[in-house]
């Protein structure tokens, strides 16, 4: 190995002297700073000398073997391609149900539900604090009656369903479970994911309700309940997506997300759960940004880091506990309102990076999302993008086709090193919750976002249609129009539910939820009983607000 390294060093020195420098004298390189989307420098050339450790079996190994750098499945996509899970949700439950049925008819293979802001904050649609927010960024769900309509006619025992919900995740998941119960579908046959990642809300997205500690308790309650009763469901999807959308670098997205995952693991262990009972059902959710190779390296590093943590740090024995399985969504923050058709190209590149990185499921953003919720035409093109990659590009024909690339492996190694440095900084402060409370994550993301924007403003970084190749022309893409009567219909249904339900039973169930929250019992059984009695999301969350309190972020200077 030493002789080989010396031979490569000698060959590189000769190449620079005889080939590179004469070329640079004749044709200088472009006067630009070569860097990743995260502003990390990119070298001119990568060789075996850039790989810190050339031990193939320890750092890469074969696909399906520890530490899974090359993927968790030995056959990659040769056996089954990723789940095509297009994110959808707007207006009423009826409108979103129609969109899901359309997408399934067009070849989508999984459901992904977006909820509106009142639902995300645990408020009913008629609460005065959420006036004007009905259905604007997702579907409105106030009670089980809305969930029944949202899922009407959808094959819950045949598709997997992802739900992007966090603070009220237990309530929304309970509604999904009760609808399956009504149809006679055993919970053991349900497959899907609740995002339920409350830590990233404090770090980046700010859609929290309760303080971190009781919020963590609710997450652990769902993990414990799911491990016993809904064994194919992922009760938490640790989400780096929103961390990246807030402006983080790629390595910050990776490090902060895996740190959150560690915090959930440690909270479950503190509850007394066996790691091999719950770790296989923890999933992850990453962003796919513009820098093709940086993103691929991020996914490869994520699998390797998580596998080592699970086996070597937390002592998991089952192979599935070592796997990092993840969903990917293309970068919404990269989309531009200017020349929105260019977003189709961005999305295709980002989706290809996710596939080459080994994603288990994928959402591709639509070209019009910087302007409005996706139109039917735009979302169809986004779905077709995935289908073309799967059927026509050839990238699914072999497993991990970029494995062994000096550039990709060097980036992967760098991601792992820098992630471990972030781990040290987080644990030095007392862990994730302590770092949240002192503003560590928020400041790091803000600094990265400011630097990125400065690079655009200074012209150091080109964004097509924004500061390069701009044109002045009217935007000609169809904009989605929602039912103008949707809110009225939703409120009529909400009021009808409140009138017709058993009021004594509602009061009893809410009292039982309060008792469970005040004690130490798992809250999921009480939440399920509230849902069966048609208690609303707002009523259940209000009980927990009164019990747990409401979190307000404090300025750290």
Nearest to 418 by CA among 454, 444, 457: 444
Q: How many CB atoms lie within 10 A of CB 129?
A: 8
On whether the CB atoms of residues 365 and 333 are closer than 8 A, the answer is: no
Mean pLDDT of the chain: 95
In angstroms, the Cα distances linking 428 to 262, 421, 432, 509 are 15, 11, 10, 43
Q: How many CB atoms lie within 10 A of CB 169?
A: 24
| Dist CA 142 CA 455 (whole Å) | 43
* pTM, two decimal places: 0.95
What tokens does 282 get? Answer: 């923890």
The answer to whether residue 275 scores a pLDDT higher than 70 is yes
Burial label for 122, CB within 10 Å (0-12, 13-18, 19+), is buried
Provide the percentage of residues in the chain whose pLDDT is more than 70: 99
pLDDT digits (tens, 9 = 90+) for 36-64: 998 999 999 999 888 877 788 889 999 99
Sign, CA dihedral 99-105-107-109, equals positive
Cα–chain-centroid distance for residue 254? Answer: 11
Task: Name residue 285's beta-bridge partners.
Answer: 239, 327
Q: Is the peptide bond before 121 cis (omega within 30 degrees of 0)?
A: no
The answer to whether residue 556 scores a pLDDT higher than 90 is no
Q: Residue 481: its pLDDT value, please?
A: 78
What tokens does 196 get? Answer: 């339920």
Task: Name residue 41's beta-bridge partners.
Answer: 35
On whether the CB atoms of residues 154 and 111 are closer than 8 A, the answer is: yes
pLDDT digits (tens, 9 = 90+) for 417-433: 999 999 999 999 999 99
Cα–chain-centroid distance for residue 121? Answer: 19
The answer to whether residue 86 scores a pLDDT higher than 90 is no
The answer to whether residue 474 scores a pLDDT higher than 90 is no
pLDDT digits (tens, 9 = 90+) for 363-386: 999 999 999 889 999 999 999 999
Q: Residue 557: its pLDDT value, please?
A: 54
What tokens does 124 get? Answer: 């009913």
Q: How many CB atoms lie within 10 A of CB 34?
A: 10
Task: Name residue 111's beta-bridge partners.
Answer: 86, 161
Q: Using DSSP bridges, classify how beta strands 236-239 and 191-194 pair: parallel, antiparallel or unpaired.
A: unpaired
Q: Residue 555: its pLDDT value, please?
A: 67
pLDDT digits (tens, 9 = 90+) for 155-164: 999 999 999 9
What tokens does 180 get? Answer: 């399956």
| Dist CA 243 CA 299 (whole Å) | 15
Nearest to 324 by CA among 309, 340, 314, 342: 309
Q: Is the peptide bond before 67 cis (omega within 30 degrees of 0)?
A: yes
What tokens does 290 get? Answer: 């513009």
| Dist CA 530 CA 174 (whole Å) | 9
DSSP E strands in 175-288: the ranges are 191-194, 233-234, 236-239, 282-288
pLDDT digits (tens, 9 = 90+) for 382-423: 999 999 999 999 999 999 999 999 999 999 999 999 999 999
Nearest to 171 by CA among 512, 539, 545, 550: 539
The answer to whether residue 31 scores a pLDDT higher than 90 is no
Quote the Cα angle for 529-533-537, to 5°. 85
| Dist CA 123 CA 488 (whole Å) | 17
| Dist CA 193 CA 448 (whole Å) | 30
On whether the CB atoms of residues 187 and 226 are closer than 8 A, the answer is: no
């Amino acid at each position: 190995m030493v002789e080989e390294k010396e031979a490569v060093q000698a060959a590189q020195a000769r190449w620079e002297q005889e080939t590179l420098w004469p070329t640079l004298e004749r044709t200088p390189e472009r006067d630009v700073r070569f860097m990743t989307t995260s502003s990390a420098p990119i070298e001119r050339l990568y060789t075996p000398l850039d790989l810190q450790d050339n031990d193939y079996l320890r750092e890469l190994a074969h696909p399906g073997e520890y530490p899974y750098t090359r993927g968790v499945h030995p056959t990659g996509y040769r056996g089954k391609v990723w789940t095509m899970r297009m994110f959808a949700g707007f207006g009423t439950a009826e409108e979103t149900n129609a969109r899901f049925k359309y997408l399934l008819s067009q070849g989508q293979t999984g459901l992904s539900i977006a909820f509106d802001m009142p639902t995300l904050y645990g408020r009913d649609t008629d609460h005065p604090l959420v006036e004007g927010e009905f259905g604007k960024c997702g579907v409105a769900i106030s009670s089980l009656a809305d969930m029944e309509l949202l899922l009407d006619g959808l094959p819950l025992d045949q598709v997997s369903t992802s739900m992007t919900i966090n603070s009220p995740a237990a309530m929304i998941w309970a509604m999904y479970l009760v609808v399956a119960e009504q149809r006679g579908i055993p919970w053991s046959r349900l497959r899907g994911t609740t995002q339920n990642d409350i830590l990233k809300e404090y770090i980046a997205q700010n859609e929290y309700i309760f303080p971190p500690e009781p919020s963590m308790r609710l997450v652990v309650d769902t993990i414990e309940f799911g491990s016993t009763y809904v064994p194919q469901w992922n009760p938490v999807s640790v989400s780096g997506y929103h961390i990246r959308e807030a402006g983080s670098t790629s390595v910050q997205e990776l490090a902060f997300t895996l740190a959150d995952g560690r915090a959930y693991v440690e909270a479950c262990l503190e509850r007394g759960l066996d790691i091999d009972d719950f770790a296989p059902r923890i999933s992850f959710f990453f962003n796919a940004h513009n820098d093709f190779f940086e993103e691929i390296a991020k996914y490869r590093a994520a699998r390797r880091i998580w596998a080592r943590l699970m086996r070597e740090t937390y002592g998991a024995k089952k192979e599935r506990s070592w796997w990092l399985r993840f969903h990917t969504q293309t970068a919404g923050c990269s989309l531009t309102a200017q020349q929105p058709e260019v977003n189709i190209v961005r999305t295709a590149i980002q989706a290809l990076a996710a596939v080459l990185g080994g994603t288990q499921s994928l959402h591709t953003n639509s070209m019009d999302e910087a302007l409005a919720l996706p139109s039917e035409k735009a979302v169809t093109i986004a779905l077709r993008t995935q289908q073309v990659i799967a059927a026509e590009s050839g990238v699914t024909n072999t497993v991990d086709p970029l494995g062994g690339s000096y550039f990709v492996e060097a980036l992967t190694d760098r991601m792992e090193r820098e992630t471990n440095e972030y781990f040290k900084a987080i644990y030095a402060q007392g862990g994730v919750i302590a770092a949240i409370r002192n503003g560590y994550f928020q400041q790091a993301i803000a600094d990265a976002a400011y630097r990125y924007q400065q690079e655009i403003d200074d012209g150091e970084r080109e964004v097509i249609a924004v500061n390069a190749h701009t044109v002045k022309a009217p935007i000609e893409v169809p904009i989605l129009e929602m039912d103008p009567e949707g809110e009225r219909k939703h409120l009529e249904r909400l009021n009808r539910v409140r009138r017709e339900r058993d009021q004594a039973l509602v009061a009893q169930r809410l009292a039982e939820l309060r008792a469970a929250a005040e004690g130490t019992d798992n809250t999921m059984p009480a939440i399920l009983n509230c849902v069966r009695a048609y208690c609303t999301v707002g009523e259940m969350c209000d009980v927990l607000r009164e019990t747990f309190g409401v979190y307000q972020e404090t300025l750290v200077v």
